[in-house]
Structure 1
Amino acid sequence: MKQQLLSNATLGQLNDRVAVPAYDRNRLTAGIAHIGVGNFHRVHQALYVDRCLHLPGHEAWAICGIGLGSSTSALAKVRALHAQDCLYTVTEFDSDGSASTRVIGAMIDYLHAPADPEAVLRELAGPAIRIVSLTITEGGYNFDEATGEFKFHEPDVAHDLAGAPPRTAFGFIVEALRRRREANVPAFTVMSCDNLRQSGNTVRRAVLSFAQAVDPGLADWIADNATFPNGMVDRIAPQVTPEVRAKVAIMSGIDDATPVVAETFTQWVIEDRFSNGRPAFDAVGVEVKSDVSAYEAMKGRMLNASHMLLAYPAILLGYRFVHEAMSDPDIAALLRAFFQHDVSPILELPPGVSSEIYEEKVLERFGNPAVADQLLRVAHDGAAKIPVFHAKTIDTLVHDKRDMRREALLLACFQEYLRGVDDRGEIFTVDEKKLTAADWELHKSSDPLAVLNMSSFSSLRLAEKRAFVEPFCLLQGIVSRGDTRMALREAR
């Protein structure tokens, strides 16, 4: 059966089983500009905004997407979204195999910053934009792991600070705020939707660091007038392979060039700190709180941390999908031991949240075969993500002289994963943008503690801690011999 193309003109011709926007897209204007329109944003924040647009009086809260990438795939996304009037489908898969598809109409424009940076600046500087949100990945906030300082020497940052048309998110945000200050337009809220502890504080520090280098007076104005709410975001959004795209096209009857898929579970907890208004997020399932730190800690140190913990040994064992790894008793036992011995005893959860119930929900979500989440997707950028999700747990385990075998296994498997060959001799692709040339040289050396001394992990100073080095060396030796399963059992 021929699939229907997706556009404003075809919304009324789609399969009756597909939910479509019930609001008039012609009446919408963008009140939110989002930088980094990846799969996660499109199944998470944009979906909540789409719900808001169905509420009365929300026509001014649509999204203008902003893409910073200039790769072939980034350019293809620009063309595809423009051809579809920025519409796309989200298909949600439940663990029982059932699925549902809806069309998201929340994004009404998509600007490609490399092609026309001035158009992006005009959009951000205009009074209609009241929130600028970001999903630029955990490693995108440009802080040096060892010193904690903003990296002004990065080529794109140095380019922006020289006064050229911006390339970075911070260059665009600060220049737009400078123009708003000059035109007496209120500052917008800057809202990070990345998987970061204290995400708002992190983006605030990055923006103010950049602004201070441009103009200290501007930095003071931003500090006094803009807000940066912390938030916790949670949803699994796997990569869409050609096979998945073909599958959802058959299910929906829609020929969508940029479909996204997700599990049915979704959660967003955000601080109610918005300098220039916000949609009624609390009316559409967002948990709006005065403090989200306990939620951030729970999600980061339990779900995200266990995701990373399972990914590297599972890949080395030859698995390529999360649900397949979760069917392995040794992997499941590793996660249960991590929860019960390493996290739950030292983590303060939000009021009313049961550790046992949350743990079981995490394991259930990871085991969902319908989502078919890719382990290599979870594993990539580990040098950026592992410190974010594991540093506090490692620090506490070391300080309290607790069992460190699970954390030692994580880094031992990560060190072996960087070789790009599993225990069966199968080659896989390693995607580690954060590692420097010096890090890769260190990895090639004969230093058994190579990963502990890499730039991303050096601030943890694990190579100096005998209580960590001993289990690490034991497990690293086993893993490097190609016996990841034995190491798994030793770590439990």
Structure 2
Amino acid sequence: MQAPFRPVAAGIVHFGLGAFHRVHQAVYTEDAMRASGDHTWGIVGVSSRMRPVLAKQNYLYTVVERGEGAAPPRVVGALAGVAAGAQVPDLLARPAIRVVTLTVTEKGYRHDPATGRLDLADPGIAADLAGKAPVTVVGQLVHGLRRRLAGPPITVVCCDNLPGNGKFLRTLVRQFCEAAGSTELAGWIEDNVRFPGTMVDRIAPAVTTADLAGAEHELGYRDDALVVTEPFSQWVIEDSFATGRPAWDEAGAVLTADVEPWERLKLRVLNASHSMLAYFGLLVGHESIADAVHDPVLRDACTAMLADDVLPVLDPPSEVDFEEYVRTTLARFANRALRHTTAQVASDGSQKVGPRLLETVTDLRAAGREPRWLPFVVAAWTRHVETTEHLVDPLATELRAAALPLDVIFPGDPAFRARVVAAHHRLAREDPRAVLQEVLDGRG
């Protein structure tokens, strides 16, 4: 195994040290430092949960790939430390910190999924605006940028699965500043902070106790921060940085002037397929995404959804063969070595269904086309909300109180709502697999 890498200085602050960051941006960053010889891009993570775990391991952790073409396990040393949220302002005041990255999941931004605006009624956002020590990501970020006021420019890179994620985060920051009455700070941010868009892709299932025990037996040491992933990895980044960046392109990332086509491709094909297989997989009793994609009816329905509903309004990047991208996506999902659970993918649906599914509905209807499959996929989500005893979703209370969960995140389209209601009733009465087969046969 290669000797652990060590950065000589920190240049990045990262919010959210979950498995995805540790198998994705941290790996790219370490590889970029190795390739370029510039070792000043060490990452200081912000995570109270992971701080004690990584501190006792000297901020090292192991990445284990599983599946065809897997590389040997590697120890990653890109982390220069882990901080608590209260330390963010001091960190962002340091001129050596030139980039901030975020992987906090969709719900971490405390926004209203129906409007895309910052949720000013959220208790955490309200407390941050009231002047208390900030606890939300947006509040901590703005508070840190305030400490940097009149200092050197900086770049903030959102790496979460949200449409126009860079513009989205810039808007939330501006809305927070407006609500706080921070006119001077808002002006400085406008002139000195860049928010490039990104598309990120790598599967990182939740690590189980069996994963930890198996790795300990295989490697000969215990790693409580170990992460499991697939061989595939992709990162597309808008090349718009205020004061330099790691040589991520030398590590395999794609730097481009326009991320949007790549982002739409991933959200509306890969992420939409993930959600479809998760919600229907749960309805028919599949515990993993691999099990769901090995179900021929679910697989055929997923492929048909992409061809019938997604491709007509997608406009993928010119470099991409759509059919090959679909085949590769489903082959990745079929990797049984990962055991990515349907329950994990199905969580936080109120934050995911909009960008993954409903934006395609909007584009189809604007083009004068009616979605064939998406009413059934959204209905599978509404059935999940209705039937799951312990629903994992930040809007669980609101979803359960609504006549139809769709109304909470997608008001104002009665025709589509009626189709979802009809599909919901069918899925409640009939075998979901049989319903999909009828649609495949043209009888649904």
Q: Could you tell me whether the CA contact under 8 Å between 2:124 and 2:136 is conserved in 1?
A: yes
Taking the aligned partners of 2:376 and 2:269, their CA distance within structure 1 comes to 16
Equivalent residue, structure 1, for 2:282: 315
Kept in 2, the 8 Å contact 1:231–1:296? The answer is yes
Asked if structure 1 preserves the Cα contact closer than 8 Å seen for 2:110 and 2:125, the reply is no
User: Cα 1:51–1:99, aligned 2, differ >3 Å: closer, same or farther?
Assistant: closer
Q: Deviations for 1:179-207, whole angstroms, at most 9, x for unmatched residues?
A: 211xx321311110111121100111111
Are 2:152 and 1:186 aligned? Answer: yes
Task: Describe the superposition over 1:438-476 as per-residue Cα deviations: whole angstroms up to 9, x where unpaired.
Answer: 43222xxxx4xx1232x2222xx23x11xx345433321
**Aligned partners of 1:482, 1:80: CA distance in 2, in Å?**
47
Q: How far, CA to CA, are the matches of 1:469 and 1:166 in structure 2?
A: 38
Match of 2:2 in 1: 19
Q: Tell me which residue corresponds to 2:439.
A: 491
Matched, 1:475 2:435: no
CA–CA separation in structure 1 for the residues paired with 2:275 and 2:105: 15
Corresponding residue for 1:91?
64
Alignment of 1:174 onto 2:142 = yes
CA contact (8 A) 2:385 2:405 kept: no
Residue number among 339, 354, 367 corresponding to 1:372 in the alignment? 339
2:264 is equivalent to residue 305 of structure 1: no
Q: CA deviation at 1:399?
A: 3.2
Corresponding residue for residue 328 of structure 2: 361
1-side partners of 2:398 and 2:299: how far apart? 35
Q: Work out which of the residue numbers 356, 364, 373 in structure 2 matches 1:397.
A: 364
What displacement does 1:147 show? Answer: 3.7
> Counterpart in 2 of 1:232?
199
Per-residue Cα deviation, 1:63-101 (whole angstroms, up to 9, x for no partner)? 00001x6xxxx2xx32211100111001011237x5621
Name stretches of at least 5 consecutive residues in structure 1 with no aligned partner.
1-17, 422-427
Partner AA of 1:472 in structure 2: V
| Aligned 8 A contact 2:36 2:247 in 1 | no
Aligned counterpart, 1:82? 55
Contact 1:478 1:486 in 2 (8 A): no
| Contact persistence 2:385–2:399 (CA under 8 A) | no
> How far does residue 137 in structure 1 lie from its aligned partner after superposition?
0.9
**Offset at 1:434?**
2.8
Distance 1:151 1:469 in 2: 24
TM-aligned CA deviation for residue 401 of structure 1: 4.4
- Matched letter for residue 94 of structure 1: G
Compared CA separation, residues 345 and 404, structure 1 to 2 (3 A): closer
Deviation at 1:158, TM superposition (A): 1.6
Partner in structure 2 of residue 132 of structure 1: 100
Q: What's the offset of the Cα at 1:247? A: 1.8
Cα distance, 1:156–1:268 mapped onto 2, change above 3 Å:
same
The answer to whether the aligner puts 1:452 opposite 2:425 as a matched pair is: no
Aligned to 1:249: 216
Task: State the match for 1:336 in structure 2.
Answer: 303
1:403 CA drift (Å):
4.5
Aligned to 1:65: 45
Q: Using the alignment, how far apart are the partners of 1:331 and 1:146 within structure 2?
A: 29
Q: Which 4+ residue blocks in structure 1 deviate beyond 6 angstroms? A: none
1:56 is displaced (CA, Å) by 4.5
Could you tell which deviates more after superposition, 201-210 or 170-179? Answer: 170-179
Shift of 1:102: 0.4
Task: Verify the 8 A CA contact 1:404 1:471 in the aligned structure 2.
Answer: no
Higher alpha-carbon deviation: 50-59 or 228-237: 50-59
Mapped partners of 1:144, 1:360: distance in 2: 34
1:431 aligns with 2:414: no
Q: Deviations over 1:17-48 (max 9, x none)?
A: x3333x4x2x6211000011111010000000
- Cα 1:471/1:158, change in 2 over 3 Å: closer
TM-score (norm 1): 0.85
Q: Distance in 1 between matches of 2:114 and 2:273?
A: 24
Please give the secondary structure, in 1, of the residue aligned with 2:44: strand
> Residue 100 of structure 2: SS of its match in structure 1?
strand
Deviation of the 1:419 alpha carbon: 3.4
1:187-206 to structure 2, matched below 5 A, reads 187-206=153-172
Distance, in Å, in 2 between the alignment partners of 1:146 and 1:364 is 33
Corresponding residue number in structure 1 for 2:318: 351
Deviations 1:367-417 (CA, angstroms, capped at 9, x unpaired): 111111111111100111010111221112333443423111112111111
TM-score normalized by the length of structure 2: 0.94
CA distance in 2, matches of 1:151, 1:452: 18
1:211 Cα offset (Å): 1.9
> What secondary structure, in the 3-state scheme, does the structure 1 residue paired with 2:246 have?
coil
Over 3 Å counting, the alpha-carbon distance change for 1:396 and 1:318 in structure 2 is same
> In 2, Cα distance between the equivalents of 1:456 and 1:209?
20
Amino acid in the other structure paired with 1:480: A
Tell me the secondary structure at the aligned position of residue 72 of structure 2: strand
- Which residue number corresponds to residue 79 of structure 2? 107
1:141-290 matches, cutoff 5 A: 141-181=109-149, 184-214=150-180, 215-290=182-257
Whether contact under 8 Å (2:110, 2:119) holds in the other structure is yes
RMSD: 1.8
Q: Do 1:312 and 1:379's aligned partners in 2 also have CA atoms closer than 8 Å?
A: yes
Maintained 8 Å contact 1:187/1:275: yes
Counterparts of 1:153 and 1:173, CA distance in 2: 19
| Deviation for aligned residue 1:155 | 1.4
Which residue in 2 is equivalent to 1:441? 401
Distance 1:324 1:148 in 2: 34
One-letter code of the match for 1:19? Q
Which digits, 9 at most, give the CA deviation of each residue in 1:148-171, with x for residues without a partner?
A: 432222111121122222111222
The answer to whether the Cα contact below 8 Å between 1:475 and 1:487 also exists between their aligned partners in 2 is no
Whole-angstrom distance in 2 between the partners of 1:438 and 1:354: 40
Shift of 1:231: 0.6
Quickly say closer, same or farther: Cα 1:232–1:147, change in 2 above 3 A: closer
- Relative distance call for 1:162 and 1:175 in structure 2 (3 A) is same
Cα pair 1:142 1:206 within 8 Å, conserved? no
Q: In the aligned structure 2, how far is the partner of 1:359 from the partner of 1:336?
A: 7
Q: Secondary structure at the match of 2:75?
A: strand
Measure the CA separation in 1 of the matches of 2:265 and 2:249: 21
Distance apart, 1:131 and its partner CA: 0.5
Shift of 1:250: 2.1
**In structure 1, what is the equivalent of residue 31 of structure 2?**
51
CA distance in 2, matches of 1:470, 1:487: 17
